[in-house]
Amino acid sequence: MEFFKHVLSNGIRCIHKRVKSPVTYCSLTINAGSRDETDKEFGAAHFAEHALFKGTTHRKAHHINSRLEKLGGDLNAFTTKEETAVHATTLKGDFPKAAELISDIVFDSTYPEKEIEKERDVIIDEINSYKDSPPDMIYDEFEDMLFSGSELGHNILGTKASVSKFMGNDIRNFTNRCYNTENMVFAVSGNLSEANFVKYTERFFGDRYTIGRSTARRTPAEYKPFNKTYNKHTHQAHCILGGRAYDHNHPKRVVLSLLTNMLGGPAANSMLNLLLREKNALTYGIDASYTPYSDSGVASIYFGTDKDKVEKCLSLIESVLNKLKTVQLTTRQLSVAKKQLIGQLSISMDNREGYMLSAAKSYMIYDDVDSPAEIYRKIEAISAQDILDTANEIFADMSYLIYN
């Protein structure tokens, strides 16, 4: 068994992978993100992630920031639309300090008003920085249109107006409502015995009790394709096309992962990179992505190009998509695509921190973590007909958003 599992009496699920290394990685992943905000909490999930570092009943902000760093370690966090994760990297012997610190900031944060006031300016600066990056902004605006009327479409950062109104009590209300133990996973990768893993998780997390979540996530409204062009006065045109896709539990989610990797994954030999960049020199970068959520998903293709080349790029992309929808891949094409994805996944799993965070999310969603062998088996089972059917399902009725 790749992961040892232990469930605390309060519902926190704990997983551990033992590896021989002087370095230990650990994280607490919470099933709460920006889609769990109310109408008056736009940006609260991300603000809460920042505010966790600003003081607890036991520590001031500078004590939190130096606790692991002075040992050569690291403490960090991130927020997505459906999760918040606090993670740490330390030497093996300092793991108990990391686990205790994560527990302290997640459960004992006080959100002092003076610190909230300062952090508000930091987040507004982050929003301004994001607005200076059209490739980032267009993704968020695309999802806002794709999930119109739903919290799932909201920008994770919030707006200047919403962030400017937050007080400590607003953040406290969000975390009290959404940070409940039954929706948490504590994951560890390091040279730690099972007995010590159980001992430390029980010591630092076992007595933490929170009230269960009182609100359910709303299902997004029916999707209506759109075609929008906005003048953003940018040097380049930025374009994104795509639509809704499979959720976390859909049986074809692995097929779509393979399909988007073939289309515009990180490799230089992706279909769209070869056609648009290498053959026609129309763009510096083009990529395809698939992001699954608990009850929906997004599949999209993004590129930036000169403004007079947008139509040419779109025409070439549509020609590739039409071929995928009408012509089955050859046995060799499919075999090469599978081998490439398996190789990429194998290499990414060698990043122990990334793999630990990925495993924690998987356990949070599925209450299990597939072994590499099981993941590879699912990829190998994909047929050319699966690719054809998925292309027809996902790339029909696409939406377009262009910054021109």
Distance, in Å, from the CA atom of 291 to the CA atom of 140, rounded to the nearest integer, reads 13
Query: How many angstroms separate the first and last alpha carbons of the chain?
Result: 52
Share of the chain above pLDDT 90, in %: 92
* 3-state SS class at 377: helix
Q: Give the dihedral of Cα atoms 245, 377, 302, 387; nearest 10 deg.
A: -70
Asked whether residue 403 carries a pLDDT value surpassing 90, the answer given is yes
Residue 109, φ and ψ in degrees, nearest 5: -65, 145
For residue 278, give the DSSP letter.
I
What are the structural domains, with CATH classification, of the chain? 4-205 (3.30.830.10), 227-403 (3.30.830.10)
Residue 99: CB partners within 8 Å, gap ≥ 6?
A: 26, 186, 200, 201, 204, 205
- Which residue from 283, 59, 68, 48 is spatially nearest to 176, judged by alpha carbons? 48
Q: Interhelix angle for 113-131 vs 134-146, to 10°?
A: 100
Sheet holding 227-230, edge to edge: 227-230, 399-403, 237-244, 297-305, 286-292
| For residues 175-196, average pLDDT | 96
Phi-psi region of 196 (alpha: psi -120 to 50; beta: other; left: phi over 0): alpha
Each residue's pLDDT tens digit, 58-90 = 999 999 999 999 999 999 999 999 999 999 999
Each residue's pLDDT tens digit, 22-64 = 999 999 999 999 999 998 999 999 999 999 999 999 999 999 9
The pLDDT value recorded for residue 356 is 96
Per-residue exposure over 272-304, b if at least 16 CB sit within 10 Å of its own CB, e if not: bbebbbeeeebbeebbbbbebbbbbbbbbbbbb
For 172, the token pair is 């406290």
Residue 225: CB partners within 8 Å, gap ≥ 6?
A: 243, 397, 398, 399
For 24, the token pair is 């230990």
Asked whether residue 103 carries a pLDDT value surpassing 80, the answer given is yes
Each residue's pLDDT tens digit, 330-362 = 999 999 999 999 999 999 999 999 999 999 999
Distance, in Å, from the CA atom of 249 to the CA atom of 251, rounded to the nearest integer, reads 6
Per-residue exposure over 128-165, b if at least 16 CB sit within 10 Å of its own CB, e if not: eeeeeebbebbbebbbbbbbeebbbbbbbbbeeebbee
Each residue's pLDDT tens digit, 206-259 = 999 887 776 789 899 888 999 999 998 888 999 999 999 999 999 999 999 999
